[in-house]
Structure 1
Amino acid sequence: MLASEDDKEKYYAYLHVSESNDVACDCSFKFCWRCAAESHHPTKCKTVAEWMKKNNSEAENTNWILAYTKPCPKCSVVIKKNQGCNHMRCGALCKFKFCWVCLGPWKDHDGGYYECNKFKGKKDAERSRESARKCLERYTHYYGRWCSNERSRKMAADDLDHARRRCDGPIGCWGQGELATLDSVVEAWEQIVECRRVLKWSYAYGYYLSLETRNSGKMRLFEC
């Protein structure tokens, strides 16, 4: 149980007045009273649920496969092309040689190593692949920064715990000025932890902004 009935009543009265969903426990953990997830301002509860589901979904693996790999036309082994020309040779047992663009046999290819004259009829498939690639790159951009700020938040939280332990030591070991300095250090680390948390969730917020909003000044302000 996260809180006693008395605490729940007190928190509810506060939330009703302040319209805030954030609650801080004595252990310093902050959570959302509405959805019970960690505090996630400025992102809405529904967006948080969608974001976490997306992060845990196998769909992103499928998108990566669609965007960056193709099956061998002969044995269907999945192949990833890093760079170079369109002349491919399956690394599996079949050793089939084919064109990366049209997937046709290389012996029938007449566009050279960097062009494919047969590709005109397959532009729709490549457009879908390019769209999947762009969507994946956009998701990777936001997810990477979400993770980076979470790592930084955890490191700051460790430093905060260390500072608090020093403050909780024998009072006689510290002078009045030193205690005031330690209190300031603790407050500074608390602000850093909170800023990292807000920054982390701002990337989930930014990922789900509508296309119209993304093209507006609001998005440019967000990215500053």
Structure 2
Amino acid sequence: MSDMEKMLLLVSADHTATGLLGKLLEMNGYRTCVVTTVASALSEIRARPPVLILLDRQLLVKEGGRRDQFPAAIPIIVLQPFDKSCGQDECLTELEAGFDLVFCSPHSRELLAHIRAILRRQQMPAAAPSVLRAQGLAMDTARHEVTVGGTLVELTPKEFRILHQFLLSPGVVLSRQELLNRVWGEDYALEEHALDVHIHSLRQKIEADPSKPRFVVTIRGIGYKLQAS
């Protein structure tokens, strides 16, 4: 998402301040929507969720706004009017209430830097879960352990990596060549038969009846998939 596609919601009844701040934000590539009450902000969020909210601290105090009124996924910067100082204890009140930042500085470049930093963090991909599950199968990547029905099974490093690829894409058919590329690397020369040998060995360890697998099933002429349910 480019900056021009990012809509910021500015919540303040101070028309002079919103005019100046809105112009500053738009000059730096952000679209802005201005509302004058907390109630109208909540209505606007339901219609067009912004990527970030700038909330006038005086309005917040006046209307008794709370962090839990707003979607938790949308970061909120509480703004102290640029011409008014803000004591440390006052700032801590909003931070302890769950707001992401209380900005009490007249320096607009500093505010822009905070906005960019927060949005960068929002765009960072979430860390993959350390425990992956499918039916009674579970893999703890942090502990490098696999259990079936709660019972620990010992896998070789290659078997572990093959199973990991299946658990990352449950229900998705993976061709033999794709599995080879993911596990051994695209530059590694290995015949598909070698993969079949590893799949056979994996089934011996995780399937109750390897001749009738319920986890890793063969898709004839293509490859394999992990049954999602």
Normalising by the residue count of structure 2, what TM-score does the alignment of the two structures yield? 0.23
Name the structure where helix makes up a greater proportion of residues.
Answer: 1
Query: Normalising by the residue count of structure 1, what TM-score does the alignment of the two structures yield?
Result: 0.23
